[in-house]
Amino acid sequence: MRRSLHRPRPAPPRRSPSNGRLQAARIVASIMAVSAIGFGLFTAAIGVLSPAQASHAFHNAVVAALLLVPSAPPVIAVARAPQRAIRPLVILAFVGVAALATMALSLTLDPFTLPFVVLVGILWALLPSRAGAYPAGRPSWILLALAAVAAATLVPYALAQAELQRADQTSEHAMFYHWLEMSFYAMAIPLLGLLSALRPREYRMAAWCGGVALAVMAAASLALGEYASALPTPWAWAALAGSALFVGLTEWEARRSRQSHGRAVGDRPLPARSSRANP
């Protein structure tokens, strides 16, 4: 009996479960990124172009920034590299905590925000590994102090906006969940500041998201000071200066941490050469 000339074809490589979950995370994050950017730009455009939205100028500016600044960058980072998504996901988790806290304080479910929180939870469930969420390192005490100052200023503002959402049953601001979203925005900024203060080098993105978000709120308050929810002018100038100071100090702390890390690595003794190595 002659041996067959055809060799059996090798079985195709099986797709590992982790690869499938990473691909699913990429798809979910891409949908979130497109939605955040699209709705953010739409909100900014309609706030400028629609006469019916004239009374909501400040609210629309802040809601657009909420989508484009603290939400879109970490989601884009997850979509681009889901295998290294743990730190952007931590940022999104802090933003999600702010959303849940303000919905609870307002006794109102925001149909625009709640899907974002649910999708962040789905991304956490899809992530194969959560190692590195709290990396080794040291906090920055000066950044922690600045984050505490921001919290002392913005948390009372967030509580007041949440109270307006609870009490207001008639105005368009309440119908569009603007009070709640102002509260959400104000609560997210100090939380992002806290995260970046704990690990400035690893969570630089959190510092930039929180700092730019605060700067947008301050600039919108200066330009639209007569509108509902705008910060008083002295507080707006203080917020603008504080946002620049926080981001600048974060960059300084991150650079110093990198230099310290580089020196520590450079000071490590070289491994001894094996006696069996060729001369």
- pLDDT exceeds 50 at position 252: yes
- pLDDT exceeds 70 at position 93: yes
Inter-residue contact 70 to 88 (CB < 8 Å): no
Inter-residue contact 176 to 137 (CB < 8 Å): no
Inter-residue contact 172 to 56 (CB < 8 Å): yes
Q: What is the rounded distance in angstroms from the CA atom of residue 70 to the CA atom of residue 95?
A: 7
Q: What pLDDT score does 256 carry?
A: 85
Inter-residue contact 123 to 183 (CB < 8 Å): no
Name the one residue in this structure whose structure tokens are 């080098």.
201
pLDDT digits (tens, 9 = 90+) for 206-216: 999 999 999 99
Q: Which amino acid is at 99?
A: A
Which of the pair, 12 or 75, is modelled with greater confidence? 75
pLDDT digits (tens, 9 = 90+) for 41-64: 999 999 888 898 999 999 999 999
